[in-house]
Amino acid sequence: VGSGWLSFKLGRKKSLMIGAILFVAGSLFSAAAPNVEVLILSRVLLGLAVGVASYTAPLYLSEIAPEKIRGSMISMYQLMITIGILGAYLSDTAFSY
């Protein structure tokens, strides 16, 4: 909900940097969570990071990409996200017991 405001107020680049900081903080807290409450807080931070990135990254890509390849860049962005999700499912299947 706040990603649009953040993106227009601070700009695309700064919004993506804030999203990256949230990703790092959420990942570190998640990895070192001593209890369930910290794990839940870290997942909330990661959710905010995903919200910022999923709104801002396609806008930024469309602004910086040359007109000829703009559609391809946005499609590749979404394809890479989907391939990453597939990789996560496959690694979960391979390493679960």
Q: Single out the residue of 28, 29, 24, 23 nearest to residue 41, CA to CA.
A: 29
18-72: pLDDT as tens digits? 999 999 999 999 999 999 999 999 999 999 999 999 999 999 999 999 999 999 9
Instruction: Look up residue 79 and give its amino acid.
Output: L
Instruction: Look up the pTM and report it.
Output: 0.81
Give pLDDT, residue 97.
Answer: 79
77-97: pLDDT as tens digits? 999 999 999 999 999 999 987
Domain boundary assignment for the chain: 1-55, 65-97
